[in-house]
Structure 1
Amino acid sequence: MTFDPELLGQPKQELAALLKELRKRAGLSGDRLAKRCDMSQSSISRIENGKTQPSLVDVERILRALGAPAEVVAEVTALARLAGTQWQDIRAMRRKGLDKKQAELAALESSSTELRYFLLSMITGLLSTPEYIQASLAHSPVDTREVVARKLARQEVLRNPAKRFTFILTEQAVRWPLVPPEALAAQIDRLEKLTHVPHIRIGVIPLGGYVPVAALDTFTIYDRTLATVENTMGVLILRDSRDIDAHLELFSQLETFALFGDDARERLSAWSAACGGGRPPASPSGSDGHR
């Protein structure tokens, strides 16, 4: 099956209709198929009506119960993977309004208990000072005043002790000169202060040394149900358990090379102190409201 980012997330109804058609061809009722799959009849019905997004494991169980040939299994499995993946490009987000993306993120953060963030090149909005947030949106072609307000409002979730946050930042993410030196020092100081919050873990991966694992993008994992992968052009949303497990494994590997606690605070203090005067480099385009 050809991969087209614009089609990600769209085949959900196509998958539902195909699974229903395969069941009918096999001469099985929804109840009989459910018994063969060790699933409830209502689960089969919701999947076939497109009300529930089946996992790849569920799809494979259904296909085995139907005795589907190998070529059908390959096609349906590929379709299921596309149906469970969504691409949000930055142009579409701008058209809809970047404040709506902030509302989506707030809902995810509110409904999740354990949140993991790997930050490759910038600091996420949850950890950012107002100056840093404004700088990250400086090159956006749309009005960002509401986006800034919503980003700051989202930070209230960090006060909830029932949630567990783990942030891993590369040295590049911490020290990228998105704001002038004095403002960058204040931003790094905010990170250091947050390391004292019991339910927030902030780790940093310094440059130098030996880190035999690398992530190519910023990513976030919400519990064990959803992961997002972010780059300059947009956000990839992954719901398949295999994709989520792969990112959990990568996060665990990166975690072993990060400094936490007093070691992280010592490094952050040194980076803050290193912010001197002088004219900073031109700011990059920023994340345009993704985070």
Structure 2
Amino acid sequence: MTFAPEQLDRSKADLARLLRDLRKRAGLSGDRLALRCGLSQSTISKIETGRKTPRLTEVESILRALGVPPGPAEEIMSLARVANTEWQGVRASLRRGLEKRQTELAALEASATVFRYFLPAMVTGLLATPEYVRAGIAHSPGDIASVVARKLERQAVLYDISKSFTFLLTEQAVRWAVVPPMAMSVQVERLVALSRLPNVRIGIVPNGVVTGRGPMNTFTVYGEHLATVETFTGRIVFRDSRDISEHLAIFALYEGMAIFDTASDAFLSAVAADFRNGI
């Protein structure tokens, strides 16, 4: 199913109205429907008024309870899938301020315990040196110093051993020169240092590995309940279990191609030496 970003918010209102109309046409009260599908009356009310975006499993339960035929049910499930997708445009993020975005990311990092980052183009902020962070957002409006400080504060989450992190980087991402060569050498050496934390795994997919598919987007999977995909113009937030499962499968594919531990340490150390030697 394809959609434009502006459809996402509208789809939530459409889904709420459609489910409410289906219930009324079936001659059921909110209480009766709640009993039939195993949800609370307050949950049904929040779904029908648009105060809650229902999970796919909740929509399936409601449709079964209402006896909706397979054809219309599939169309409604497609709408529900779009409603569970969120578009966050870059322009809107800039209007709200980059500091706000850092607060949102910190909340995501606080709420999950298992993190998977696929990084085909650049090093992510959690792994970055101050100089790399500053260069990466130098083109952005606002208080750059404040955003840099907030990004560096977020790195403390890496030292929380109740959480586990796996970062997959392509060789391209490691070698992409965001800062001058000596600063890049320091950045690559930081990757080696962080990979030695007990709860952090850093894998590298070297150039020359036959992948069979291109690494199209940076993405992050938080636990098994949320995935974000980065594009030039914004980010898409997925909450549909099928979308998350697909991203986990893609991550596992590249993870199987990556080198880790002593092999990745040796690789990264060689890249750092290349930067120091101007290669």
State if a TM-score over 0.5 links the two structures. Answer: yes
Cα separation, 2, equivalents of 1:9 and 1:175: 39
Question: Aligned runs of 1:74-113 on 2, under 5 Å?
Answer: 74-113=74-113
Offset of 1:186 from its aligned partner?
A: 0.1
* Corresponding position of 2:16: 16
* Corresponding position of 1:263: 263
User: Do the aligned partners of 2:174 and 2:188 also contact (CA within 8 Å) in 1?
Assistant: yes
Cα separation, 1, equivalents of 2:268 and 2:10: 44
Residue 35 in structure 1 maps to residue 35 in structure 2:
yes
SS at match of 1:273: helix
User: Do the aligned partners of 1:12 and 1:83 also contact (CA within 8 Å) in 2?
Assistant: yes
| 1:58–1:175 distance in 2 versus 1, CA, 3 Å | same
**Any idea what the Cα deviations from partners look like across 1:101-135, whole Å, max 9, x if unmatched?**
11100110011111110001011000000000011
Offset of 1:48 from its aligned partner?
A: 2.3
* Code of the aligned partner of 1:167: F
How many residues align? The count is 279
Offset of 1:140 from its aligned partner?
A: 2.0
* Code of the aligned partner of 2:206: P
Unaligned runs of 5+ in 2: none
Question: Aligned runs of 1:88-237 on 2, under 5 Å?
Answer: 88-237=88-237
User: Do the aligned partners of 2:109 and 2:157 also contact (CA within 8 Å) in 1?
Assistant: yes
Residue 243 in structure 1 maps to residue 259 in structure 2:
no
Cα separation, 2, equivalents of 1:9 and 1:187: 40
Offset of 1:2 from its aligned partner?
A: 6.5
Q: TM-score, normalised by structure 1?
A: 0.90
SS at match of 2:275: coil
Cα separation, 2, equivalents of 1:129 and 1:112: 24
SS at match of 1:228: strand
* Corresponding position of 2:4: 4
SS at match of 1:274: helix
Identical columns (%): 54
User: Do the aligned partners of 1:203 and 1:255 also contact (CA within 8 Å) in 2?
Assistant: yes
**Any idea what the Cα deviations from partners look like across 1:60-115, whole Å, max 9, x if unmatched?**
22112212244532442232122111111111111111111111001100111111
Cα separation, 2, equivalents of 1:11 and 1:97: 26
* Code of the aligned partner of 2:44: I
Between stretches 206-215 and 232-241, larger displacement belongs to 206-215
User: Do the aligned partners of 2:209 and 2:257 also contact (CA within 8 Å) in 1?
Assistant: no
Q: TM-score, normalised by structure 2?
A: 0.93
Cα separation, 2, equivalents of 1:50 and 1:5: 18
Return the structure number with greater relative CO, CA threshold 8 A, min gap 6: 1
Offset of 1:277 from its aligned partner?
A: 5.6
Could you say which structure has the higher helix fraction? 2
* Code of the aligned partner of 1:96: R
User: Do the aligned partners of 1:168 and 1:204 also contact (CA within 8 Å) in 2?
Assistant: yes
User: Do the aligned partners of 1:11 and 1:82 also contact (CA within 8 Å) in 2?
Assistant: yes
Question: What value does the CA root-mean-square deviation take over the aligned residues?
Answer: 1.9
Cα separation, 1, equivalents of 2:93 and 2:51: 25
* Corresponding position of 1:55: 55
Unaligned runs of 5+ in 1: 281-291
